[in-house]
Amino acid sequence: MPEQEQPQIYLISPPEIELSRFPQTLARLLDAREIACFRLALASQDEDRIARAADACRAVCHERDVAIVLADHIRLIERLGLDGVHLQGARGIRDARAELGAERIVGAFCGASRHDGMNAGEAGADYIALGPAGETPLGNGARADQDLFAWWSQMIEIPVVAEGALDAQIVRDLSPVTDFFGIGPEIWDDTDPLAALDALMPAGG
């Protein structure tokens, strides 16, 4: 992957979406900003609900040549015509790669663990997501700090995503040492997600 002057935006869906409105909001964001990838990461485990959301979001993404990956549900990827899967940790990466083939995206969230990230990369992950990059009461309290991203960018060729509790200062601090920013909760709670995205990660900045 060529080096980017500024990390790319990797958009992450809210855990719940309203199908009568969210596709239009997503389209507005994709039309306004250059988005590298969109992750559908619903809290629901209902496959019919996931499929309907995936169909709507896939249409928006593919019309704009933006890749769409689904969190966790490997067996739905091919049936729904999605571009890949996003898994939790290194476990399952090798099986996902074998099932989905070389053309589809396989990514992994590895928390703040250098070890898990390297294992996922060795198993065939296309990218590693590390986080939370900011302070949050969620999870086990471990934070993926700037030193981890700096080490990764110097030592590992696999692209890395910084996500979790981002703010404008963290974005500025991590921009030299990450390939992507995984942006989701930081913008969806705002009445204007596009304005929130522009404030968090200014275009051309």
> 176 pLDDT exceeds 70?
yes
Whole-angstrom distance, CA of residue 58 vs CA of residue 202: 26
pLDDT (0 to 100) of residue 205: 55
For 112-122, b/e burial (b = at least 16 CB within 10 A) is bbbebbbbbbe
Mean pLDDT (the chain) is 95
- Tell me how far apart the terminal alpha carbons of the chain are, to the nearest angstrom: 21
User: Domain 8-200 carries which CATH code?
Assistant: 3.20.20.70
Would you state the torsion angle of the CA atoms of residues 161, 166, 171, 175, taken in this order, to the nearest 10 degrees?
-20
pLDDT (0 to 100) of residue 161: 98
Over residues 143-150, mean pLDDT: 97
Alpha helices by DSSP H, listed for 101-188, are 114-123, 146-155, 168-174, 185-188
pLDDT (0 to 100) of residue 2: 42
Cα atoms in the Cβ-side hemisphere of radius 13 Å centred on 76: 21
Tens-digit pLDDT profile for residues 35-58: 999 999 999 999 999 999 999 999
Residue with token string 């969210």: 22
Which helix (H) or strand (E) segment holds residue 86: the answer is: strand 84-88
pLDDT (0 to 100) of residue 172: 96
Nearest to 175 by CA among 114, 115, 141, 133: 133
Residue 49 CB neighbours (<10 A):
14
